[in-house]
Structures are given as structure tokens and as C-alpha cells.
Amino acid sequence: MNAGSENVRVGISTGDLNGIGLEVIIKTLEDARILSNCTPVIYGSSKVVSFYKNAQNAIDFNATKLRLDEALAPFKINLKSVWEEDVKIAPGQSSNEAASYGFRSFEAAAADLKNGHIDVLVTGPVNKQTVAQSGVEFIGHTEYLAKQYGIENYLMLLVSDNLRVGVVTGHVPIQKVASLLTTEKIIEKARVMHFSLKQDFGISKPKIAILGLNPHAGDDGLIGSEEKDIIAPAIQALNKEGIMAFGPYSADGFFGSAAYSKFDAILAMYHDQGLVPFKSLAFSSGVNFTAGLPVVRTSPDHGPAFDIAGKNEASESSFREAFFLAQDIFIKRKEYKELTANPLPLGFSKLTGDY
């Protein structure tokens, strides 16, 4: 991915301080070439960052320490101090303290994003349960930002090159999925996906594949009626709106036959239906992007990985892709806004200048 020549201010939250967040952040930013198009801003503590820098022997990683209210040093790594007190760092160990400070990092970055001090946000991985146990009301990064901007209809979109997978129902128990599916909900998610493909990825006429819910997409009603009663009507309604939606497809055959390569994005009915094949195909390069928000937020598609934290074994590939994708989308959105700001009147000829 190439973000172009523009200076994009990229805010970065640390994630859980005992996870692999800072390890992959430092590994990504250690390559000075990454600074040619952007200004990274880490939100955290110089003491914690120094701990991981020394542990990794990252001699080429250097950051300019700033207060939260200080101006950024362009095309350099900036480290905004969110706290100064000592925090116990124990890589690989889940702790409420490490989780709560990771949330403080995200909170500060999200505030700067809303106030226009940074352009995009890349969030380090957290353990939602540990954050909640620390006393913070937190369901997830996506939900937090959606609430901040008053957005009810958004979409978790997993991205890797030309593979994009979204889900209608997110982090809910599998036994509740069928009861939560409605024609209206599928239409809403597909609309968000369609607009995001145009605005954020520059695809003028997106083709969306929609998966069924049941094995073999219901097998004509033998294994379930959701395809006929809920999903097919949604596809028909989307087609009437001019959205090129196709399906419902049986998930196993769809991914097994590589049919996904013929579409710009896939809308799955539930979390594992979409994310299991996605991570099987693109685990090291996958990015979690929140479509439908007025701001750009991405993250690597993995968690804090406590089992390898502190061992200098974590791959930075997914974080690096999230870092670049955030910049790409920011620039694509600017281009889309410019292209659609003054649309030509109906019937106007670009060639002659006449109606």
C-alpha cells in the first residue's frame, strides 16, 4: 500500500501494555523510510516505550517526546505523554493496570482525532474483558468511536489487498445470530459497505457478495428458511437501489472455490463465518477497518497475543498494513470529496462542455 506524498498525521494507541502492541509499533516505525509520507504520533509514556525499545534493542527507533498540548514535529516519530507515573510492565501477563493505561492511550488519541490534531487513528490490540475488569466501560474501539460521533450504523470490515469481508452481526453469541438477522439490518450493512468501497477504496461500481446463514445456504429451505425469508429479499431490495449485491452464497463453497476473488467485498452473516476464512487467507496482512465512521480508524487483525509478548517474536506485518491503510483511506476520502463536491448537472457533456 502506498499513501502518496502527503503528510498524514497518524495517531497510534499502544494497546494493552503487557501485549505485543508496542513491540509491533516499534518494529514498524524503526524503518525511517516510513516517515516520508506521514507523522506518526504514539500516545503513551516515554518510560513504557523505552522499556520495549531496550527489550528489542531497537537502536534505530527514536521519538520526540511531547506534552499532549504541544505541536507535532512533522515527518518524525512523536510521543505524546499521556501519563508520567511509573506503570508495572510484565509482558505476557494480563493485568487490569496494564489494560487501563492502554485504554488511557486510546482515549487521548481519540480525543486528538476528534479535535483535528491527528488525521487518522491506528489502535493497538487490547483484551476487551481485561479493560472492562479495570473499571472502564468499554465494549470495543469501534463501539467507543461510534458513540463519540453518534453513529448507529457502522461495519467491521476486514481488509487485505483486494479481499474485504464485513459482518452483519459482530461480537454476539452464536445462538443469538439468527434472531438478530433482519432484512433491514442486512440492507443497512450492505449500504455502509457499498459507500465505503466507493469513498474509501476508490471502486466506482462495487460488486458485493452476500453469504447465506445456514449450511449450503439453506439448501432451498431444507436446512433453514433465513435465506428465502430474510437474505434474498435484502439482496432484491439492494439491487433496486442500484447496489450490485449477489447471493446468497454457501460460505464453504464460496471461499473453497475462490469465488470471493470475483467480488470487491463479501458480507457475512456472523463473525466467524467471515473472519475464519479471512484470517486463513490473510492472517499476517489483515487489517480491521471500521467503515461508516466520519473518521478513519484501523487496527491489526490480531489481539494482544500474551503468549508471545516480550519474546520479540511478534510479526509487525498486520500493524504495518493497518498503518498504511489508514493513510490510503484518508487520501482516498479527500479525493472522493473533491470529485463529488460539485457534480456535473445531468446531461452535461465533459467532452464538449454543452448540455
Task: Note whether 94 and 240 are same-domain residues.
Answer: no
Instruction: Please indicate, yes or no, whether residues 127 and 170 belong to a single structural domain of this protein.
Output: no
Residue 124 clears pLDDT 80, i.e. is over it: yes
The pLDDT of residue 349 is above 80: no
**Is 131 in contact with 19 (CB distance < 8 Å)?**
no
**CATH code of the domain in which 106 resides:** 3.40.718.10
Which tens digit of pLDDT belongs to each residue from 296-321?
Answer: 999 998 999 999 999 999 999 999 99
Residues 259, 247 within the same domain: yes
- Note whether 169 and 261 are same-domain residues: yes
Give 343's pLDDT tier (boundaries 50, 70, 90).
low
Question: How many independent structural domains does the chain possess?
Answer: 2
| 159 and 145 within one domain | no
Instruction: Answer whether 199's CB lies under 8 Å from 187's CB.
Output: no
| pLDDT at residue 273 in the model | 95
User: What's the pLDDT score for residue 132?
Assistant: 75
Please give the Cα distance from 188 to 185 (Å, whole number): 5
Q: Cell match 527514536: residue?
A: 62
From 235, 261, 285, give the residue that closes a domain.
285
The amino acid at 274: G
pLDDT at position 161 is: 87
146 shares a domain with 1:
yes
Q: How far is CA 147 from the centre of its chain?
A: 16
Residues 105 and 15 in one domain: yes
Q: Which of 78-92, 135-149, 182-196, 248-262 has the lowest mean pLDDT?
A: 135-149
Residue at which a domain ends, from 285, 310, 343: 285
Residues 165 and 275 in one domain: yes
Q: Residue 234 pLDDT > 90, yes or no? A: yes
Specify whether 44 is located in the same domain as 102: yes
Averaged pLDDT for residues 185-212: 97
Cβ-count burial 167-203 (b if 16+ within 10 Å, e if not): bbbbeeeeeebeeebebebbbbbbbbbbbbbbbbbeb
pTM of the entire predicted model: 0.90
Average pLDDT, the chain: 91
SS3 state at 44? strand
pLDDT band at 75 (very low <50, low <70, confident <90, very high): very high
Residue range 205-210: average pLDDT? 98
Interstrand relation of 163-167 and 155-160 (parallel, antiparallel or unpaired): antiparallel
Whether 297 and 268 share a structural domain: no
Note whether 67 and 206 are same-domain residues. no
Sequence length of the chain is: 355
Task: Indicate whether 255 and 236 sit together in one domain.
Answer: yes
- Quick: pLDDT tens for 60-71: 999 999 999 999
Domain that residue 258 falls in: 154-285
d(CA 106, CA 114): 12
Alpha-carbon gap, residue 180 to 167, rounded angstroms: 12
Single residue among 285, 303, 331 that ends a domain in this structure? 285
